[in-house]
Amino acid sequence: MIDHNTWLKVRLKIKTKVGMSIEKRKKRAKEILRILKKLFPRTKVALINWKNPWELLVATILSAQTTDKKVNEVTTRLFKKYKKLDDYVNATQEEFEQDVKEIGLYRNKTKNILASAKLVKEKFGGKVPNTMEEILELPGVARKTGNIVLHNAYGIVEGIAVDTHVMRLSQRLGLSAHKNPVKIERDLMELLPKKEWPELNYRLVDYGRTYCAAKPHAHDKCPLNKFGA
């Protein structure tokens, strides 16, 4: 357990780091990415059961504030029951809630998924949009979900998916001083070349789970300790 004085020192280091010039932060980001690539040379989205853009969208909406492991457990059954977009369009709120009740915030997620299904069918011809502007029209979809779906389903890179792992580690590593995910995404996009954007999320998620969890711990054994994480 990390003591309070050590915690305060860490917070002070973070505040100092984010005041660096853009050139120094780019150099810092490059070195951090080099280490992350060494730790996780192969990485991909942790959601595994999807077979098409719509199923990936459903899984990604379900994954908010929920572990990917739990989402994978639920979608194993869900995608066997709901095989086509029309199955979602015709589903009732009550029935679908029962199918995903193991997921956090399942009532609101059910509402968004079923509403998105109707919008995809009625406005987008039954296909999940392949532009950020259009995909953000879907209920429950923000840029994080948009980035994950666009990259993995269509090979389109619009930005960097910023989830809770990326938010926390970007601040700890001195890559962004912001708490707003859109502003954090903007900072990260400025620091790294576009070809690195898609997998940055996966590598930071892997790093957070493997070495640097959110709960208090001794950071001296974390591979990125010299950068604050």
In Å, what is the CA distance from 50 to each residue of 85, 103, 163, 165, 228?
A: 13, 17, 20, 22, 35
Q: How far apart are CA 98 and CA 226, in angstroms?
A: 46
Helix 53-62 × helix 106-123 angle, to 10°: 150
pTM over 0.85: yes
Single-letter amino acid code for the residue at 87: D
In Å, what is the CA distance from 64 to each residue of 10, 71, 109, 222?
A: 28, 10, 9, 26
* Domains of the chain in sequence order: 19-44+159-227 (1.10.1670.10), 53-154 (1.10.340.30)
In whole numbers, what is the pLDDT of the chain averaged over residues? Answer: 91
| Polymer length of the chain | 229
Interval 56-94: pLDDT, tens: 999 999 999 899 999 999 999 999 999 999 999 999 999
Predicted confidence at residue 38, as pLDDT, reads 97
* Cα 167 from chain centre: 9
pLDDT-derived band at 204 (thresholds 50, 70, 90) equals very high
Predicted confidence at residue 162, as pLDDT, reads 97
pLDDT greater than 70 at residue 18:
no
Task: Say if residues 188 and 170 touch (Cβ distance below 8 Å).
Answer: yes
At 218, list the tokens: 């001794």
